[in-house]
Structure 1
Amino acid sequence: MKPFNIEDIKRLRAEIEQLEGTIVIVPHINPDGDAIGSVLGLASILKNAGKQVTVISPNHFPEFLKWMKGSDELLVYVNAREKAAKILNEASMLICLDFNHLSRIGELKELIENWSGKKVMIDHHPYPQGFADLEFSHPDYSSTAELVFHVTKAMGYEQYIDLDGAECLFCGIMTDTGSFDYNVSDPQTFNTVSELLAFGVNPEDIHGRVFDNYSVDRMRLMGYCLSECMEVFPEYHAAVMYLSKETKAKFHYQKGDNEGFVNMPLSIKGIHFSAFFTENDDQIKASFRSKGEFAVNEFATAHFGGGGHRNAAGGEVFDTLEATVERFRKLLPEYAEELKRTKQD
Structure 2
Amino acid sequence: MKPFDIEIIKSFSEKLGLVQSPIVIMPHVNPDGDAVGSALGFANVLKNAGKQVVVISPNLYPDFYKWMAGSAEVVIFNAEREKSAKIMKEAGMLICLDFNHLSRTGEMIELVESFEGPSILIDHHPYPQNFTDLIISHPEYSSTAELVFHVVKALGMEPFVDKWAAECLFCGIMTDTGSFDYNVSDPQTFKTVSELLTYNINPEEIHGRVFDNYSVDRMRLLGYCLSECMEVYPEYHAAMIFLTKEVQKRYNFAPGDSEGFVNYPLSIKGVHFSTLFTEKDDQVKASFRSKGDFPVNEFASSHFNGGGHRNASGGEVTTNLQDTLTKYRSLLPEYAELLTKTKC
In 1, distance between residues paired with 2:294 and 2:237? 11
Contact 2:15–2:118, Cα closer than 8 Å, also in 1 = no
Q: 1:343 Cα shift? A: 4.5
In 1, distance between residues paired with 2:282 and 2:88? 27
Residue deviations 1:96-120 (CA, integer Å, cap 9, x gap): 0001111111110011111121111
Residue deviations 1:276-310 (CA, integer Å, cap 9, x gap): 00111121110000000000000000000000000
Pairing 1:185–2:179 present: no
In 2, distance between residues paired with 1:285 and 1:185? 28
Q: Return structure 1 stretches of 4+ with deviation > 6 angstroms.
A: none
In 1, distance between residues paired with 2:252 and 2:103? 29
In 2, distance between residues paired with 1:243 and 1:343? 29
Q: What residue number does 1:146 align with?
A: 146
In 1, distance between residues paired with 2:262 and 2:291? 12
Q: 1:85 Cα shift? A: 0.3
Residue deviations 1:231-290 (CA, integer Å, cap 9, x gap): 000000000001011000111111111110000000000000000001111211100000
In 2, distance between residues paired with 1:70 and 1:278? 30
Contact 1:237–1:343, Cα closer than 8 Å, also in 2 = no
Q: Partner of 2:333: helix, strand, or coil?
A: helix
Contact 2:97–2:121, Cα closer than 8 Å, also in 1 = yes
Q: What residue number does 2:204 align with?
A: 204
Letter of the 1:156 partner, please give it: G
Letter of the 1:112 partner, please give it: V
Residue deviations 1:205-254 (CA, integer Å, cap 9, x gap): 11100000011111100000000000000000000001011000111111
Q: Partner of 2:266: helix, strand, or coil?
A: helix
Contact 1:231–1:241, Cα closer than 8 Å, also in 2 = yes
Q: What residue number does 2:218 align with?
A: 218
- Identity over aligned pairs, percent: 67
State the aligned residue count: 344
Q: What residue number does 1:263 align with?
A: 263
Contact 2:58–2:78, Cα closer than 8 Å, also in 1 = yes
Q: What residue number does 1:340 align with?
A: 340
Q: What residue number does 2:158 align with?
A: 158
In 2, distance between residues paired with 1:192 and 1:165? 14
In 1, distance between residues paired with 2:97 and 2:3? 19
Letter of the 2:262 partner, please give it: V
Letter of the 1:45 partner, please give it: V
Q: What residue number does 2:22 align with?
A: 22
Q: 1:48 Cα shift? A: 0.2
Contact 1:36–1:172, Cα closer than 8 Å, also in 2 = yes
In 2, distance between residues paired with 1:186 and 1:312? 16
Contact 1:304–1:315, Cα closer than 8 Å, also in 2 = yes
RMSD: 0.7
Residue deviations 1:79-138 (CA, integer Å, cap 9, x gap): 000000000011010000001111111110011111121111000001111111111011
Q: TM-score, normalised by structure 2?
A: 0.99
